[in-house]
A and B are shown apart, each in its own frame.
Chain A
Amino acid sequence: MQHSAHTEQLAIEPLYMTMMLIGVLLYIAAVLRSNKKLRPWPWHRTVFWCAGIISIALSLEGPLAVQSHINFIAHMAGHLLLGMLAPLLIALAAPMTLVFRILSIPSARRLTRLLKSRPFFLLSHPVTAALLNIGGLYVLYTTDFYMAMHHNLFLEMLVHVHIFLAGYLFTVSIIYIDPIAHRFSFIYRAIVLMLALAAHGILAKYIYAHPPTGVPREEAEAGGMLMYYGGDAIDLILITILCYHWYRTSRPRMAGAGEIK
């Protein structure tokens, strides 16, 4: 089983690779097109996008991806890259803003209408996004899903897509880099982020104490600790950005308003 999964993994790599390459090229093409009409797109956003794509690529192919089939620690490193770091970097690249800059006005209106629709509202609600994100991890690591994933390539791809999309959805529901249709207050998002971080840490310790089926104890312990501290590190960036946004919006409005009467 292990061997066939490995061969299939090799077969799927060119597909992943092509998708990553297309992702980079599309973004750069959009930047070039946008720069013709509007003021230059900040270069650091392009850097974030490329770094995000590289994070995805590292988790899906190459040595780490191969190792992640046989080693739980490597699997967890891949999970941190795909589900936390890549979504953060991609969110910082502001892809929706870029899309709006190159769309014609009628298409932009249609897209806005779609983003404002009820299903989208429910999906991008911070609580829904947190449940999809952290809930998915609980299903993966506390049931036999983790084992099943390694024996079925389709299931594995599905898990990868879910981990990235749920991570991205959660990130953009907490920090507003792109324009967003329904905004939630700072304190609301702070509480959701805190609870999600707590649930992530609890699951990490649970994995440490109860290894998922088929995972040796030492690997589960090291993997659980990597999940705990790795999650902390990436969430520290999220927390800092969220607090910075609060700091920026709560600045004294008028000149001399520093002294409030």
Chain B
Amino acid sequence: MAITNGGSVDHATAKNRVVYSSFNLWSGFLFGLGFAAFVDESVFHQLLHWHHFYDKSTTDVGLVSDGIFHAFSWFATVGSLFMYANLRRRKGLWPKRWIGGAFLGAGSFQLYDGLIQHKVMKLHQIRYEVDLFMYDVVWNASALILMAVGVILVLQTRRTSTKAKAER
């Protein structure tokens, strides 16, 4: 694991990483979630105009879910960056674990958006006046890939964190 986690980090940083292990994961997760929501908003709503602001088939619970998710992701983007700054200030940043969290967060948002919000709550579809099937498949498969990358990175860093604990 020495290559991936920078075997060159000094002892204090290695210890801080373990102390702030879950803080790294959460900061990354929230950033990934916020970033995915931001891409969704700026690329699919504003630039491509594929997504619609409102769709007549939106259920009431969909409207509420969208409102809460939108607000939460807005908050998460800003909050996670301050958490990142806090980790750096405390010399506890663990880049690999943070990035793993970000992949996990982005994938989770993508999957929730693609399955629950688009399909169950019918908030809006990915694109209009096209055959949706392939779009849905690509959307949700990309979500699963993001999540898988995230899970691998997080598991890898967990192994070293337990090892570091054992060494202490």
Contact = CB atoms under 8 A, between A and B. Distances in A.
Same complex origin of A and B: yes
Interface of A: 190, 193-195, 197-199, 201-202, 205-206, 208-209, 224-225, 228, 232, 235-236, 239-240, 243-244, 246-247, 250-252, 258-260
A247 B15 contact: no
A212 to B, nearest CB: 16
Given A198-B70, A202-B63, A243-B82, 9 more contacts: A194-B72, A198-B68, A199-B67, A228-B53, A236-B78, A239-B75, A252-B90, A258-B16, A259-B15
Interface in B69-108: 70-72, 74-75, 78-79, 82, 85-86, 89-92
A236 B79 CA distance: 11
Contacts of B16: 258-260
A258 B82 contact: no
B64 A239 contact: no
Contacts of B53: 205, 208, 224-225, 228
B12 interface: yes
A195 B72 CA distance: 8
B124 to A, nearest CB: 11
Contact of A205 (B54, B71, B82, B89): B54
By DSSP majority rule, is chain A's interface helix, strand, loop, or mixed?
helix
A239 B15 contact: no
B19 interface: yes
B66 interface: yes
Interface residues of B, number: 27
B71 A201 contact: yes
Given A246-B82, A247-B86, A250-B86, A195 B74 contact: no
Contacts of A252: 89-90
A260 B19 contact: yes
Contacts of B67: 198-199, 201-202, 205
Contacts of A208: 53-54
Contacts of B56: 209
B63 A205 contact: yes
Contacts of A206: 63
B91 A259 contact: yes
Contacts of A247: 82, 85-86
A251 B87 CA distance: 10
A190 B67 CA distance: 16
B24 to A, nearest CB: 14
B56 to A, nearest CB: 8
Contacts of A243: 78-79, 82
Contacts of B75: 190, 193-194, 197, 239
B90 A236 contact: no
B54 A232 contact: no
Nearest to B123: A205
A250 B82 CA distance: 11
A123 B132 CA distance: 50
Nearest to B10: A259
Contacts of A259: 12, 15-16, 90-91
A258 B89 contact: yes
B26 to A, nearest CB: 13
Nearest to B79: A243
Give the residue among B12, B19, B78 with the most A Cβ atoms within 10 A: B78
Q: Which of A225, A239, A244 has the most CB of B within 10 A?
A: A239
Contacts of A194: 68, 71-72, 75
Interface in B44-58: 53-54, 56, 58
A239 B19 contact: no
B70 A201 contact: yes
B89 A235 contact: no
B91 to A, nearest CB: 5
